[in-house]
Amino acid sequence: MKEIEKNAKNILDHGTYQEFVDYYADKSLSDASLQRMEGIVNCIKRNLKKRGISERLNVADIGCGAGVMSMMWAKEGHRVYGLDVNAALLDIAKQRASQENLNIDFCLGSATELPWEKESMDVCIAPELLEHVADWETCLREFVRILKPSGVLFVSTTNKLCPIQEEFTLPLYSWYPSLLKHRFENLARTTRPEIAGYATYPAVNWFSFYQLRQEFLKMGMDSFDRFDIMDIEQKSTYQKYIIHAVISNSILRWLGHVASSGLSMLAIKKP
């Protein structure tokens, strides 16, 4: 990884650098990454089950990368459509799916202009994506456009309420004023890529659940935060008590968001 970091300083588009691509392809198969993706899949399935939805689904995996989560859905018999801006990672995704005899429609494209028809998807997944796209409002409109009525959208992204974050190697970065953030974003894209983990598209947006809930409400979506969608049945009695207290009290819920390093939410398209 040190050699990657050394060479990445000399190029602008780190996403086309082969060792960079190999690094993130390998990272997608790490135990931590697989556990995170399985958690997202299980969260969506659990909330679909609550709504009596269990048939074969059309699933859009936006920002699919090397295709691991797309494959998880395809292995369960769902029709899966993966999209990413990185052609090299998509090639890896296609190769992996082929080796598993999985029929997944992977395509190169942007989240601001999705290639699918209106109301064609039952599930839309956009993990760790919104923070990297300057025109995030268009992304939201596209997510909603492709969802069928009662369709489910899962989003995970940056949380500006929490001082702890993983996008920049700078303390309390979430709380920096916008002008200072813009300065470091520019440095990450030019002379100091290491402060943003050598990301091709470093994070430029920071959200709160309350902000995104308001945006989705305008688009006819009901939103649910991490406390609404977590699997409390797997928690201890003490943990269940804490979660119920957080859910029932708006101040405790807000403090819970302040203590959460990332933002995860489900949005359901109204019938």
User: Rounded to a whole number, what is the distance in angstroms from the first to the last CA of the chain?
Assistant: 48
pLDDT for the residue numbered 49: 86
Q: Are 41 and 35 in contact (CB under 8 A)?
A: no
If one counts the domains in the chain, the total is 1
DSSP state string for 111-162: TTS--SPTT-EEEEEEET-GGG-S-HHHHHHHHHHHEEEEEEEEEEEEBTT-
Give the domain CATH number at 214. 3.40.50.150
User: Is there a domain that residue 236 lies in?
Assistant: no
pLDDT for the residue numbered 242: 92
Residue 186, token pair as written in the block: 């520019």
Q: At 138, phi and psi to the nearest 5?
A: -65, -35
pLDDT for the residue numbered 20: 67
Amino acid, single-letter form, for residue 6: K
- Supply the range of the domain harboring residue 209: 2-231+262-269
pLDDT for the residue numbered 243: 93
pLDDT for the residue numbered 229: 94
User: Is there a domain that residue 239 lies in?
Assistant: no
User: Is there a domain that residue 122 lies in?
Assistant: yes
pLDDT for the residue numbered 16: 47
pLDDT for the residue numbered 197: 81
User: Is there a domain that residue 216 lies in?
Assistant: yes
pLDDT for the residue numbered 26: 79
How far apart are alpha carbons 145 and 147 in whole angstroms? 6
User: Is there a domain that residue 9 lies in?
Assistant: yes
User: Is there a domain that residue 243 lies in?
Assistant: no
pLDDT for the residue numbered 72: 97
CA angle 41, 47, 51 (to 5 degrees): 135
Residue 232, token pair as written in the block: 């409390």
pLDDT tens-digit profile of 113-163?
Answer: 999 999 999 999 999 999 999 999 999 999 999 999 999 999 999 999 999
CA angle 108, 109, 110 (to 5 degrees): 150
For the chain, which ranges sit under pLDDT 50?
1-16
User: Is there a domain that residue 237 lies in?
Assistant: no
User: Is there a domain that residue 248 lies in?
Assistant: no
